């Protein structure tokens, strides 16, 4: 191979790697914003509401508790709802969600 052909191949490969790296980085940034909590209502697990079921019945009395718990679980991904503790903050759906 001639020196000029090798340089072209080098720059082509470098361009492909740079493009893939940029796409991966942008994708990671976009996906990270999808996992950030939306602004909304928050409430804490307390002695008078020690479970998520009790919390939604107290905080969202006009909503079916089954539907409310489902929505709360969707908003709070990563929380083990079998192990919530008093003082733990839980995001609640906004009114009408």
Q: Residues 45-94: pLDDT tens digits?
A: 999 999 999 999 999 999 999 999 999 999 999 899 889 999 999 999 98
Is residue 67 domain-shared with residue 29, that is, in the same domain? Answer: no
DSSP secondary structure string for all residues of 6-66? HHHHHHHHHHHHHHHHHHHHHHHHHHHHHHSPPS-EEEE-BTTB-SHHHHHHHH-TTS-HH
The model's pTM is 0.57
Residues 32 and 9 both lie in one domain: yes
Range of the domain at 29: 1-36
Residue 97 lies in a domain: no
How many domains does the chain fold into?
Answer: 2
Distance (Å, whole) CA 44 – CA 51: 10
Question: CATH number for the domain including 53?
Answer: 3.10.350
Residues 18 and 45 placed together within one structural domain of the fold = no
Q: Report, as an integer, the average pLDDT of 38-44.
A: 80
Dump pLDDT digits (tens) for 14-37: 777 778 777 777 766 655 545 555
Residue 70 has what pLDDT?
Answer: 94
Q: Once rounded to an integer, what is the mean pLDDT over residues 92-97?
A: 75
Residues 46 and 31 in one domain: no
At 36 the pLDDT is 54
Q: Are residues 46 and 32 in the same domain?
A: no
Provide the 10 A C-beta neighbour count for residue 73: 13
What value does the mean pLDDT take over residues 3-11? Answer: 84
Report pLDDT for 87.
94
Asked if residue 62 is part of any domain, the answer here is: yes
């Amino acid at each position: 191979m001639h020196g000029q052909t090798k340089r072209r191949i080098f720059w082509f490969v470098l361009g492909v790697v740079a493009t893939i790296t940029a796409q991966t980085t942008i994708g990671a940034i976009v996906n990270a914003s999808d996992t950030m909590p939306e602004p909304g209502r928050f409430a804490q697990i307390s002695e008078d509401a020690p479970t998520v079921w009790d919390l939604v019945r107290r905080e969202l009395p006009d909503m079916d508790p089954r539907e409310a718990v489902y929505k709360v679980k969707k908003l709070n991904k990563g929380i083990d709802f079998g192990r919530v503790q008093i003082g733990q903050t839980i995001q609640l759906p906004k009114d009408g969600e």
